[in-house]
Chains A and B, each alone.
Chain A
Amino acid sequence: MYFINLTLGGVSSGIVYAAVALALVLIWRATRIVNFAQGGMLMITTFVALGVIDATGSYWLGLLAALVSGFVLGAVVERVLVRPIENGPPMNAVIVTLGLLLFLQAVAGMVWGGSPRSFPPLLGIKGFTVGDARLLLSPSDLFVIGAVLVVMALLVLLFRVTPVGLRMRAAAFSPEVARMFGVRVGRVLTLGWALAGAVGALAGVLVAPATFVGPNQFDAVLVFGFAAAVVGGLDSPPGAVVGGLVVGLTLSYVSGYLGSEVALLGALAVLMTVLMIRPNGLFSRTSVRRV
């Protein structure tokens, strides 16, 4: 029973890391940049959602506001901050996205104050009961899992089936060839960041009832999301999902059996193990090419 509960807990937190990882992967695929500001962006959009929920009383309007503001924020960041440094050395992008993270955290602190606020879940957070035992799985957890799965399915459809998705894949794999066939690569990159912004915003709203909302409340989520993306191999959306679950389950098992104080070490161990065995991540295609 204990094992089952740890597994359930691991899955429902892992799916959120998967969503954050997915946002990072979308941006990495489009622009080869690791967006360290993702945690700051989803923090801002979660504050927006909280404001809308407080004002209207509607969770759904709040969620919608987060998704829309995440989409817009992602697009604006790409156009204004990333576009000028896209062709520069990779370190420029690292500094810019880290700088943006600090900037967003500072702004949030000035606007909303430094103390964390609670965020209402859509559904109850009391676990289901089976017989006398209470499961570590609540209606709210089911909603979280379902919401992330729906968004992932939509993204798969977008990429696999639609012309927009084909443009995005072509631009990611071979920008020059994409341009030859009339793909306006700049717009596609903006769209990639915008989608990532929206996916990150979803993750923020879903995890907020557990972490609370504050300038630094999502730092851990970003770190675990990043670990998940790397485990999956930065390039692969399915890898991000698997990576998120691996990280979530590892954290859950390690803190359950060994104590929560070593949970972070468990995550580190998984990251290092995966990187030693498959340096490009579990789902990456090998980067060695035959010439």
Chain B
Amino acid sequence: MLEVRELAVSYGMVRALDEVSLTVDQGSITAVLGANGAGKTTLLRTVNGLVRPRSGSVLLDGTDITRLPVEEVVRLGLAHVPEGRGVITELTVQDNLRLGVLWRNRRERRALQSTGLDEVYALFPALAERRARLAETLSGGERQMLAIGRALMTRPRLLLLDEPSLGLAPRVTAQILAVLRELRERQGLTVLLVEQNARSALSVADHGVVLNLGRVVASDAAASLATADDLRHAYLGF
């Protein structure tokens, strides 16, 4: 579904991504792992059109989306849960969710807004109780749920998730990852997930890619990565 080919990104003199290639299969969860500064966030931001690569390309179902501005990418079925979640704290929970259908035309919006809200609230009952509250009153876990719910409101074919576990209690992380797993099973959602917390990410992923200093150092089935001792010690820290 998603194909990243020899992507290179530089911030000034700093090379953030160096010839990174990977593929994400339809209906799979792919986890990109690596330490701080490995280029994980840059990878997602480049796929999403927020960062322009120096070279290389990003293909979504065979269509080149490398130079597409971020505003257009959502229209092709790509939704992003950014680093730090990107919840707009000055808006209510429901308005944050409504952002997910804003790009649609009036007719589609009418048709999808209320069913989308119902689905998200069914998935995350904690959000339903707080729908009229400002998002700034939410806990970290609830904000993560809101960010994921908002991305799901766009009815994405591919969900990009940046460090969902960051700052969350292990129990909350497990809960959120379980929801991803469920969505994959039930709706065939495809997920590209970026994580520092390799152990929990590999527990839900089908495929894992390890980045180090902007380069792919390993790419394999999640189960094999989780048991490759040398890799775990060198890059994954568990």
Contacts and interface: CB of A to CB of B under 8 A. Distances in A.
A170 B99 contact: yes
Contacts of A166: 91, 95, 98-99, 102
Interface in A163-201: 163, 166-167, 169-170, 173-174, 176-185
A185 B90 CA distance: 18
A181 B154 contact: yes
Nearest to A178: B99
A181 B95 contact: no
A3 B14 CA distance: 69
A180 B48 contact: yes
Interface stretch (B52-60, B74-82, B187-195, B218-226): B74-82
B82 A180 contact: yes
A169 B95 contact: yes
Contacts of B109: 163
B71 A182 contact: yes
Size category, A interface: 10 to 19
B238 interface: no
Contacts of A169: 88, 90-91, 95
Contact of A182 (B88, B90, B95, B103): B103
Interface residues of B, number: 25
Contacts of B74: 180-182
Interface string A255-291: 0000000000000000000000000000001000000
B102 A180 contact: no
B34 interface: no
A100 B60 CA distance: 46
Given A170-B91, A174-B88, A177-B86, A163 B50 contact: no
B214 interface: no
B100 interface: yes
A177 B45 CA distance: 12
B70 interface: yes
B80 A180 contact: yes
B86 A180 contact: yes
A169 B89 CA distance: 11
A185 B103 CA distance: 12
B147 to A, nearest CB: 9
B71 A183 contact: yes
Nearest to A174: B88
Contacts of A182: 71-72, 74-75, 102-103
A186 B180 CA distance: 34
A184 B72 CA distance: 9
Contacts of B50: 176, 179-180
A25 B232 CA distance: 54
A175 to B, nearest CB: 11
Contacts of B150: 181
Interface of B: 48, 50, 69-72, 74-75, 80, 82, 86, 88-91, 95, 98-100, 102-103, 106, 109, 150, 154
9 contacts: A169-B88, A170-B91, A173-B88, A174-B88, A180-B80, A180-B82, A181-B103, A181-B154, A183-B71
